[in-house]
Amino acid sequence: MASAIQITSVMKTLADPTRRAMFERIAREGEIAATGLVRGSKVSQPAVSQHLRALRDAGLVIERRDGRHIHYRVAPKGLGPLFDWLGHYQNFWQERFENLERLLKGSE
C-alpha cells in the first residue's frame, strides 16, 4: 500500500475544486498546453501555474516542453496511491457485508 504521505498528497491536491476540474480537463483532453487551460477557464495564468505545480508535485500530471509551450498530461501512476487506499477499504467493507449477510441468513 502507498505511504500515508503519498495518499495525503493526492487527496489534498484533488480536494481543491478548481484543481480537480483542471485535472479532469487534462484527462479528457489527453494532453493540453498550459495556455489552453488558461483560455478555457475563468482562472488567471498565475493561478493556473500554481495549480499545475501542485498537480505535478503530487505526481498527478507530467509535462512535456515544446519550445516555449509546456503541455500537460495525466501521469499514469498518479492516482495509484488513492486506488490502493480505496482498495483496502473495499476489501474491508466487502468482508463486513458478507459477515452481515451470514448473520441475517442464520437468524431466519
Fold of the domain built from segment(s) 4-106: Arc Repressor Mutant, subunit A (1.10.10)
The set of cell numbers assigned to 43 is 482562472
Distance CA 79, CA 46 (A): 25
Instruction: List pLDDT tens digits, range 20-57.
Output: 999 999 999 999 999 999 987 888 999 999 999 999 99
Instruction: Please report the pLDDT score of residue 31 as a whole number.
Output: 96
Confidence band for 2, pLDDT divided at 50, 70 and 90? low
Task: List residues bridging with 63 in a β-sheet.
Answer: 72
Q: Give domain limits for the chain.
A: 4-106
DSSP string, 40-101: TSSS-HHHHHHHHHHHHHTTSEEEEEETTEEEEEE-TTTTHHHHHHHHHHHHHHHHHHHHHH
pTM to 2 decimal places: 0.80
